[in-house]
């Protein structure tokens, strides 16, 4: 991890991204200048987001303020930490890395055609109580009364479940 100093910022940036794009770094530095910002980090997948706001793969903690776009547009963007039995020395070989990458690409759906309609229906029915709990905890329904850019949250959640989305 590298700590990137932000002149006149409310905090510095903790970067886990060794080759962060210049524009993504500029976006995060701008966020650090906001008076309510308390913590900022760039994840290993950080890259430029929309023209204004947080970069994709950016993490921002605030005080007394909620930023709806503060989660970025590609939330999570395929990042995950999973303990395996594989030792680092076993995957240092570039050919092994390519085989692993190919295996992940084959196994994890990506793109805008996330799941089939049948699969979406199965997820909606089979995970309805979990989806309802997530919607309730996130207070999406309260936000939905004011502004709803997504449409049917339950359907959108199910369409992207177990995928890397379209980013």
Q: How far apart are the first and last CA of the chain?
A: 25
pLDDT tens, position by position, 14-72: 999 988 999 999 999 999 998 999 999 998 888 887 767 788 888 889 888 877 666 55
pLDDT tens, position by position, 130-148: 878 877 776 655 555 555 5
* Res 164 pLDDT > 80: no
């Amino acid at each position: 991890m590298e700590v990137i100093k932000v002149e006149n910022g409310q905090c510095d940036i903790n970067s886990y991204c060794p080759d962060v794009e210049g524009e993504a770094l500029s976006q995060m530095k701008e966020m650090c200048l906001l008076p309510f910002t308390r913590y900022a980090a760039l994840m290993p997948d950080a890259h430029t987001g929309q023209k204004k706001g947080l970069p994709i793969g950016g993490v921002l903690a605030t005080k007394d303020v909620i930023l709806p776009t503060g989660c970025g547009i590609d939330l999570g963007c395929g990042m995950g930490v999973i303990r395996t039995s594989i030792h680092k020395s076993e995957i240092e070989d570039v050919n092994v890395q390519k085989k692993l990458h190919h295996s992940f690409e084959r196994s994890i759906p990506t793109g805008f055609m996330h799941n089939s309609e049948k699969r979406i229906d199965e997820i909606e029915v089979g995970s309805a109580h979990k989806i309802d709990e997530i919607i309730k905890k996130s207070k999406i329904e309260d936000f939905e009364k004011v502004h709803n850019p997504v449409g049917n949250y339950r359907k959108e959640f199910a369409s992207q479940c177990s995928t890397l989305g379209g980013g």
